[in-house]
Structure 1
Amino acid sequence: MNGSSNGDRLTQSAVNIKTRDHIRRVETGKFSNPPNGNGSTSGHYSSLDEMDGERRPLLGHHNLASTLHAEPGFWRHLLVNPQSSPGVDSPNPFVKWPARAWNVTKVTLFSSWINLLLVFVPLGIVAGRQEWSAPWVFSLNFFAIIPLAAVLSFATEEIASRLGETLGGLVNATFGNAVELIVSIVALRAGEIEVVQASMLGSILSNLLLVLGMCFLLGGIYNMRSADGHGMEQSFSQGTAQTTCSLMALASASMILPAALYGVLNQADEDHKTESILVLSRGTSIVLLLLYVLYLFFALRTHKKLFEPEAQSAASTEEEHEPLLGPWSAGLVLVVTTIIISVCADYMVDSIDALVATGKISKTFIGLILIPIVGNAAEHVTACVVAVKDKMDLAMGVAIGSSIQIALLVTPALVMLGWAIGQPMTLHFETFETVAFALSVLVVTYTVQDGKSNYLEGAMLLGLYFIIALAFWASPTDALGKALGMLPGQ
């Protein structure tokens, strides 16, 4: 009898230990089903077992509220998990919508290390509203737009990844250079045509020389030798390079012809030369826009195989990108970021005249060198990273593809926008700028026509970019402005 009693106590003690152990595991979020009286588990809490752990702390089940506490990883999940947040699937709308808003914000903030610079956004806006000195307003908003450009690029990729190849390509083509377009629209409305033209040319040169040169240099250094120790070159699609270089040569011609016509009319002392240049520029812009649409149809539909061979084999080794944001969330991020960029760009452009008045920097240098850095920082990093991984087709697509967008889409679109709002935006660039662009296209064409690259070719492209940048830095502040001042409003 005594032995039976001791056995019952031992059995009950074992059950209590298992029950306490189960409660402890429930408190730490590591439970499956509660034990029954026989020490086994039942299906009574099977629904809780299937419930996502991120919802448990916020839903507050009353039958467990007095016993259970939030799992120790709740705050880490809430604050630093870059892919999800507690409560996003809650049936309670007062929990679900704030949780989803926070999750979208968190995922966006953690999308790139460049977002650390977002601290400059409120500083730049405050500096603009409080009318601080021009160097401070320009510098703070300059650094504010860099992470905003990265956020814009992230949101664009999230949307494009859900739309398929064709529509995704169109979205990337539309928003790939959105920052330059926003800054240029703000400057165009303010009558800063010299800044607009310089920023367009600077974006093209930045992608053709700086980005492509860095890709060739870093990719060539990291992939310098083959497995047997011999020097090797990186390869990319030769057909893609030839097609894009032909389009860039066409863009170069569209800049040379207005400059040549103006020179002829100037020597003839033609009174209506301004109108002639405007007519030529606007007609040329329409042709370039039509050619860009035809190029998209050619590359994305009828002849896309010409642009895929090496890119497809390289992409096959990459893990497929899983979108972290829904289409509506990514669209909201896109809209909000565009609005903030417009505000920062407005303050930055308004400070340019006062900054140039100090005599330390010219408008052309600001547009040619500084503004392209703002808009292309995220793309520069992306192109260099894929080049180091020996995926040169992807790097070429970022660098030269972006140049084509600027030359055949953004610049002609700005000419047409200037026509609509009464600003005399033309394709007549200053002679020095036109020569620099034509020489750059020529050098890049000779460099990529064989479909191979190495670090020496990258150093050559970088060298040419720094020579051009030095030439614009060394030019007097108002020299190029006077050359462009021959047209009204320039």
Structure 2
Amino acid sequence: MFNLRTRDQIRRVETGKSTSNTTNGNGSTSQFGFSSMDGERQPLLGHQATTTLHAEPGFWRHLLFSAKSSPGTNSPNPFVRWPAQVWNVTKITLFSSWINLLLVFVPLGIVAGELKWGAPWVFTLNFFAIIPLAAVLSFATEEIAGRLGETLGGLVNATFGNAVELIVSIVALRAGEIEVVQSSMIGSILSNLLLVLGMCFFLGGIYNMRGQDGHGHEQSFSTATAQTTCSLMTLASASMILPAALYGVLSQAEEDNKQASILVLSRGTSIILLFLYCLYLYFALRTHQKLFEPEVSQVSDSDTGEEEHEPLLGPWAAALVLVVTTLVISVCADHMVDSIDALVATGKISKTFIGLILIPIVGNAAEHVTACVVAIKDKMDLAMGVAIGSSIQIALLVTPALVMLGWAIGQPMTLHFETFETVAFALSVLVVTYTVQDGKSNYLEGAMLLGLYIIIALAFWVSPTGALGKV
């Protein structure tokens, strides 16, 4: 979890200076911003636009390619205004990220699933379809959070920050694919801790290798944030080690009794983890907020020449995008999960590798790019907020929530993971803790984290389905 201020800073880093004035087709300048709107007359989009649809010079360019507004969104004619507003919401959403080019896979993936194409085709097409949908979901979440203030915005980000992984996992849990759910949870944490953080350290270290004096330069970030988040990750690691240890100790008990004991332990532990996550939110957003603020030297607007980002979508428009995108992700995830058994039956890939490596890539693709961009710009506090913050969400919020959901729907989801997954997770947390505890990073540390991730991925790639047991 990273708070609203971090989201705003990341958006400003990605987009550059926020534009408050936009030129319309006839050469005049219109003001776009929420501060200029009267609350009673605020349109769906939250900003003003031209009120006519005359084909003045530049009209079609404004209509088709402007990423800020569209003509007609403020027209008094409802038959002009509402289609224009729907088109504008669609256009702004499509132009929010270059990853949205992959949206072409969405209809292909749905068609492949409905027509029962081969399992490799169904899985692959829906795999690539969910990547841009995750980026759209992240964009809509940021737009809503930008209007709610810091505390509520932070809670929205915490809820929807890993929504794709949650949706895919819920679909898999309902289908009884508990092995896939558990692997995807561990995989999401490892992906953020090792792959994303490693890429941030590596790329940031390469691009900022030399200081002003010409000597080797290390990037820095807040040690207080790193220590707090690593302590929480160590707690999450312990919560997964203890069920495995208890299962091994209960060697004399019958299998059913052992499973019942693990279920009780997992559900009780999940309640405690959810409480600790809520306490962490209160700690980070209210009582000790300054500990989680990036260093002033890294994000000062006077140094970067950047202005505060204003949301492009109004709250209702962003909420509509959020709901529609969530529904489409659910459809694509359903088709992708249904194809897993047939794909595994081919013998070319294991369930564990799908959950541990492939599914996390789907959900975290947009945030991976974001973290690397801000790391290259020497804003490591923001990059750390993306990587480790998302890991905390998965470990303390999403995974316990899935255990409780499994309890509610009759699926025996527990915190007893495969032994090798648990060991890999614990070792990864240990390595990351040693890497970040000094508050500095360089490309060598990034290469180390990437190397460990590749080793773990290779180990799961060569492990056949069902070969990794729970002891």
Same fold (TM over 0.5): yes
Structure 1 distance, partners of 2:274, 2:191, is 22
Q: Deviations over 1:143-196 (max 9, x none)?
A: 000000000000011111111111111111110000000000000000000000
| Corresponding letter in the other structure for 2:364 | N
The alignment partner of 2:147 has SS state of coil
* 2:77 is the alignment partner of 1:92: yes
Give the letter aligned to residue 403 of structure 1: S
Match of 2:347 in 1: 359
Greater relative CO, 1 or 2 (CA 8 Å, sep 6+): 2
- Asked whether the 8 Å contact 1:54–1:74 carries over to 2, the reply is no
Asked whether 1:176 is paired with 2:172, we answer no
Equivalent residue for 2:334, pick from 333, 336, 346: 346
Structure 1 residues 295 and 133: alpha-carbon distance in aligned structure 2, compared to 1, 3 A threshold: same
Contact map agreement 1:217 1:457 (CA 8 A) in 2: yes
Tell me the distance in 1 between the aligned counterparts of 2:180 and 2:403: 14
Deviates more, 1:313-322 or 1:123-132: 313-322
Letter of the 1:86 counterpart: P
Pairing 1:471–2:471 present: no
Q: Find the counterpart in structure 2 of residue 241 from structure 1.
A: 226
Corresponding position of 1:425: 413
4+ residue stretches of structure 1 with deviation over 4 A?
267-271
Identity rate of aligned residues, in percent? 85
Q: Secondary structure at the match of 2:295?
A: helix
Unaligned runs of 5+ in 1: 1-27, 33-51, 59-69
Amino acid across the alignment from 1:54: T
Secondary structure of the residue aligned to 2:438 is: coil
Tell me the equivalent position of 1:18.
none
> Hey, what's the Cα distance between the residues in 2 that align with 1:30 and 1:349?
52
- 2:145 aligned with 1:160: yes
Contact map agreement 1:360 1:477 (CA 8 A) in 2: no
Q: Find the counterpart in structure 1 of residue 268 from structure 2.
A: 283
- 8 Å Cα contact 2:208/2:376 also seen in 1: yes
2:294, 2:382 within 8 Å by CA — same for their partners in 1? no
How far the C-alpha of 1:53 sits from its partner, in A, is 8.1
- Separation of aligned partners in 1, 2:49 and 2:269: 60
SS in 2 for 1:445: helix
Match of 2:52 among 52, 56, 59: 56
Say whether the 8 Å CA contact 2:49–2:70 is kept in structure 1.
no
Q: Deviations over 1:245-292 (max 9, x none)?
A: 000000000000000000011355565111000000000000000000
What letter is aligned with 1:470? L
Which residue of the partner structure matches residue 132 of structure 2?
147
Q: How far is 1:312 from its partner?
A: 7.7
Structure 1 residues 390 and 31: alpha-carbon distance in aligned structure 2, compared to 1, 3 A threshold: closer
Instruction: Check whether the contact 2:49–2:69 (CA below 8 A) recurs between aligned residues.
Output: no
1:252 alignment counterpart: 237
- d(CA) in 2 for partners of 1:99, 1:454: 49
- What is the distance in 1 between the residues matched to 2:294 and 2:316? 33
Following TM superposition, by how much is the alpha carbon of 1:244 offset from its aligned partner in structure 2, in angstroms? 0.3
Residue equivalent to 1:372: 360
Normalised to the residue count of structure 1, the TM-score between the two structures is 0.85
Alignment correspondent of 2:92: 107
Q: C-alpha distance in 2, partners of 1:429/1:347?
A: 25
> Alpha-carbon deviation of 1:231?
0.5
Q: In structure 2, what is the equivalent of residue 12 of structure 1?
A: none
Are the counterparts in 1 of residues 73 and 81 from structure 2 also a CA contact under 8 Å? yes
1:5-57 Cα offsets, whole Å, 9 max, x none, are: xxxxxxxxxxxxxxxxxxxxxxx94699xxxxxxxxxxxxxxxxxxx983233
Q: Which secondary structure state, in structure 1, belongs to the residue aligned with residue 96 of structure 2?
A: coil
- Distance in 2 (CA, whole Å) between partners of 1:221 and 1:281 is 43
Cα 1:313–1:166 shift into 2, 3 Å: farther
Could you tell me which of 250, 262, 265 is aligned with 1:265?
250
1:231 correspondence with 2:227: no
Change (3 A) 1:311 1:463: farther
Q: Find the aligned partners of 1:416 and 1:315 in 2 and give their Cα distance.
A: 42
**Distance in 1 between residues matched to 2:251 and 2:447, nearest whole Å:** 40
1-structure distance, mates of 2:266, 2:113: 35
Once residues 209 and 299 of structure 2 are traced to their aligned partners in structure 1, the CA distance between those partners, rounded to angstroms, is 18
Q: 1:124 to 1:311 in 2, by over 3 A?
A: farther
**Structure 2: 5+ residue runs without aligned partners?**
1-24, 30-47
SS at match of 1:479: coil
Read off the aligned partner of 1:131 and give its amino acid letter.
Answer: K
Give the conservation status (yes or no) of the 8 Å contact 2:137–2:326: yes
Query: How many correspondences in the alignment?
Result: 426
Q: Deviations over 1:285-343 (max 9, x none)?
A: 00000000000000110011111151685153343111100010000000000000000
User: Radius of gyration: which is bigger?
Assistant: 1
| Residue among 267, 277, 302 paired with 1:292 | 277
The reply on whether 1:79 has 2:64 as its aligned counterpart is yes
The match for 2:176 is: 191
Query: TM-score, normalized by length of structure 2?
Result: 0.88
Aligned-partner residue type, residue 308 of structure 2: E
Residue pair 1:138, 1:347 contacting (<8 A) in 2 also: yes
Aligned to 1:272, what secondary structure does the other structure show?
Answer: helix
Letter in 1 for 2:65: V
